[in-house]
Amino acid sequence: MKSRELFTTPVLIVTNYTITALQTGKFLHRFTPETTSSVYQFIANQEPLLDEGQRYNIGYTVEDGVNWVDMSATAKADDVDPQKSYYVAGLFGEQLRAAEGRKSDERVRHGALDGRYLGKKYAWRIYGMVVARDTFDMYLKDIGHPTVQCMTDDTPSLAYKEEGLREAMNALIQSVTRVGGNRFSSPLVSSKKWFQIKGISAITDKK
């Protein structure tokens, strides 16, 4: 049975990196982490895409027991690439979408009639895990994203209109400028001078 679920590694050091020609004209790239015998592989052109001995966060899927690397979800561990982090967060959000949407519909009560609204934490898990929960909330407040007063598990709160959340996060990632390391600024986030964008291995639905 094949699994298409994306996994990410903690930081690993690439070793035993080899490139082998295939009959298709493409090349099979294979490597193992420094501390294990697990094999990771991907198909690409002949040029090496990873550096031997360097630290990486690897995104991969498992198909018939084989670890297939998703290069668009892979980056050097010491470098935070906003686009790659956002891509990975989006994949995780899609995996959570059905369950988190159902929880929101069951637990969040409001009177809005102009579309679907998601409780704050459910909206963040689906759309915003590339940044911390408080940054997500501050950003949506700064841009005036539509909200409605609600009750969540008998606690007063706000719910976000689902329509426009993806576009809002796309706009945020496109607007960021690196301050240093994993710290970024954006003219769209007026409440903070800078905020963190998570590295791939740090993306989680925990605050």
pLDDT digits (tens, 9 = 90+) for 173-205: 999 999 887 899 999 999 999 999 998 888 877
Q: What is the pLDDT of residue 2?
A: 38
Q: What is the pLDDT of residue 154?
A: 86
Q: What is the pLDDT of residue 204?
A: 79
Write down the pTM of the prediction: 0.81
Q: What is the pLDDT of residue 1?
A: 30
CB atoms within 10 A of CB 113: 6
Please list the residues that pair with 84 across neighbouring strands.
none
Q: What is the pLDDT of residue 153?
A: 84
CB atoms within 10 A of CB 40: 22
CB atoms within 10 A of CB 77: 18
151 contact partners, CB below 8 Å, separation of at least 6: 108, 109, 110, 157
Q: What is the pLDDT of residue 4?
A: 64
Q: Which residues, given as ranges, of the chain have pLDDT below 50?
A: 1-3
